[in-house]
């Protein structure tokens, strides 16, 4: 059942040619395109076999062949020689002031989309079970309190709390101390009713404030748990005729606009695989866990922002995407990202 050398070469030629042109590939083309020195008739026989084995298919009789998903899969698994992509050093591209991770990731997405001409998506890593690191209450105005909550990973959340009483300086200080001593180092699951009750007692007449602040904390932490995804270059799909008819384009773009569905993709991809490959995975057509992507391929990679905290990057394009370039680009990017994140911490 294994393919012999010659069949492999022919399959490879079919895929390569199809990736380039987007047109079904005929036997005569292969006969000239390869160094096999075989006549088109021979190629035809071989192609007929390949079709029977399910690697290629004719869109209609008397047309050339195009790869099936199975054909692409074989190609991706065994024949991709990733082209090293010399990408401008992204550090220069990235806005200096993009200290906020969201901005940085958004820019990475954009960079990828521009470089590849496909659609890119980047998920914000989420820190599971994040712990409270630091809380600071300050009086902004008479009846307004600003609560600043820092959680692990130096994620900062603010909440302005309106009061119907005004706090004394001492009281604010006291509340600060109470909150910090009670909550530092805890995550959401560890903050229970008993604890809250204790804190409220300490706060005396300001127990109400405690309630507000706890709400803010809960919100801050859970907000961070919402998997956020940044996308870019969604309209690039119009560059590929096979995706740009109204109904397909509409569905795809809607998915990218809403983003919810995309979390499935992100969650599906394997975790970091330790083999220095940045968990690069290729999904072809139906392999992706999303119906709308049945005519697309997707390449994903995993980046590590700090020990144990991962995010994903994905590139979505037509099945006939330039896998070699995409994989190359992603790898280059991952190396650069590693660099950036390492120097950051």
Partner DNA sequence: GTTAGCACTCCACAAAGCTGAGTGCTAACA
Partner DNA sequence: TGTTAGCACTCAGCTTTGTGGAGTGCTAAC
Nearest alpha carbon to residue 50 among 30, 35, 33: 30
Q: Are 297 and 283 in contact (CB under 8 A)?
A: yes
Q: How far is the CB of 312 from a second copy (least distance, A)?
A: 21
Of residues 251 through 270, those in contact with a second copy by CB under 8 A are 253-254, 257
CB neighbourhood size of 225 (10 A): 13
154 binds a second copy (CB under 8 A): yes
What is the Cα 144 distance to its own chain's centre? 39
226 binds a second copy (CB under 8 A): no
235 binds a second copy (CB under 8 A): yes
CB neighbourhood size of 103 (10 A): 14
Q: Using CB distances below 5 to 8 A depending on partner kind, what does residue 159 bind out of a second copy, DNA, none?
A: a second copy
Q: How far is the CB of 297 from a second copy (least distance, A)?
A: 21
Q: Are 261 and 288 in contact (CB under 8 A)?
A: no
219 binds a second copy (CB under 8 A): yes
Where along the sequence are the contacts to DNA (CB under 7 A)? 23-29, 37-42, 44-45, 47-48, 51, 58-65
166 binds a second copy (CB under 8 A): no
Strand runs labelled E in 143-280: 144-151, 155-162, 229-232
Span from 81-89, 139-147, 186-194, 288-296 in contact with a second copy (CB under 8 A): 139-147
Nearest alpha carbon to residue 331 among 309, 299, 289, 308: 299
Q: Using CB distances below 5 to 8 A depending on partner kind, what does residue 254 bind out of a second copy, DNA, none?
A: a second copy
Span from 44-52, 141-149, 269-277, 324-332 in contact with a second copy (CB under 8 A): 141-149
Of residues 15 through 54, those in contact with a second copy by CB under 8 A are none
> Of 149 and 333, which CB lies nearer to a second copy in the complex structure?
149
Span from 19-27, 243-251, 291-299, 324-332 in contact with a second copy (CB under 8 A): 243-251
C-alpha triplet 5, 281, 236: angle, nearest 5°: 100
Q: How far is the CB of 33 from DNA (least distance, A)?
A: 11
Q: How far is the CB of 74 from a second copy (least distance, A)?
A: 32
C-alpha triplet 80, 86, 13: angle, nearest 5°: 25
Q: How far is the CB of 234 from DNA (least distance, A)?
A: 27
The full length of the chain comes to 345
HSE value, Cβ hemisphere, 13 Å, CA-based, for 333:
29
Strand runs labelled E in the chain: 56-57, 66-67, 119-123, 132-141, 144-151, 155-162, 229-232, 281-284, 296-306, 309-318
- Distance from C-alpha of 148 to C-alpha of 272, rounded to nearest angstrom: 33
Q: How far is the CB of 37 from DNA (least distance, A)?
A: 6
- Distance from C-alpha of 239 to C-alpha of 245, rounded to nearest angstrom: 11
Query: Judging by beta carbons within 10 Å of its beta carbon (0-12, 13-18, 19+), is residue 199 exposed, middle or buried?
Result: buried
User: According to CB under 8 A, which one of 28, 101, 134, 338 is a site residue for a second copy?
Assistant: 134
Q: How far is the CB of 317 from DNA (least distance, A)?
A: 22
Using CB under 8 A, list all residues that contact a second copy.
97, 99, 133-134, 136, 138, 140, 144, 146, 148, 150, 154, 156, 158-160, 219, 232, 234-235, 238, 244-247, 249-250, 253-254, 257
């Amino acid at each position: 059942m294994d393919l012999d050398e010659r069949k492999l070469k022919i399959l490879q030629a079919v895929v390569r040619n199809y990736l380039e042109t987007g047109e079904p590939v005929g036997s005569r083309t292969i006969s000239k395109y390869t160094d096999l020195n075989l006549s088109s008739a021979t190629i035809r026989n071989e192609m007929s076999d390949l079709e029977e084995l399910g690697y290629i298919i004719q869109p209609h009789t008397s047309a050339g062949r195009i790869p099936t998903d199975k054909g692409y899969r074989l190609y991706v698994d065994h024949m991709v020689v990733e082209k090293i992509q010399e990408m401008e050093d992204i550090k220069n591209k990235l806005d200096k002031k993009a200290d906020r991770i969201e901005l940085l990731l958004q820019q990475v997405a954009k960079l990828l989309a521009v470089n590849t001409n496909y659609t890119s998506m980047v998920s914000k890593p989420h820190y599971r079970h994040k712990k409270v690191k630091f809380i600071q209450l300050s009086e902004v105005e008479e009846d307004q309190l600003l609560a600043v909550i820092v959680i692990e990973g130096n994620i900062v959340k603010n909440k302005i709390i309106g009061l119907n009483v005004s706090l004394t300086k001492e009281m604010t200080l006291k509340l600060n101390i109470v909150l910090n001593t009670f909550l530092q180092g805890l995550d959401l699951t560890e903050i229970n009713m008993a604890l809250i009750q204790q804190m409220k007692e300490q706060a005396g007449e300001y127990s109400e404030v405690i309630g507000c602040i706890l709400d803010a904390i809960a919100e801050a932490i859970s907000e961070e748990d919402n998997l956020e995804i940044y996308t870019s270059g969604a309209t690039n799909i119009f560059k590929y005729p096979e995706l740009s008819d109204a109904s397909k384009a509409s569905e795809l773009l809607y998915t990218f606009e809403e983003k919810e569905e995309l979390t499935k993709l992100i969650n599906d991809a394997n975790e970091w695989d330790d083999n220095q490959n940045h968990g690069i995975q290729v999904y072809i057509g139906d392999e992706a866990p999303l119906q709308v992507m049945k005519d697309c391929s997707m390449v994903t990679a995993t980046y590590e922002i700090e020990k144990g905290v991962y995010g994903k990057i994905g590139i979505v394009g037509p099945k006939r995407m330039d896998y070699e370039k995409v994989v190359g680009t992603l790898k280059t990017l991952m190396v650069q990202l590693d660099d950036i994140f390492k120097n950051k911490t």
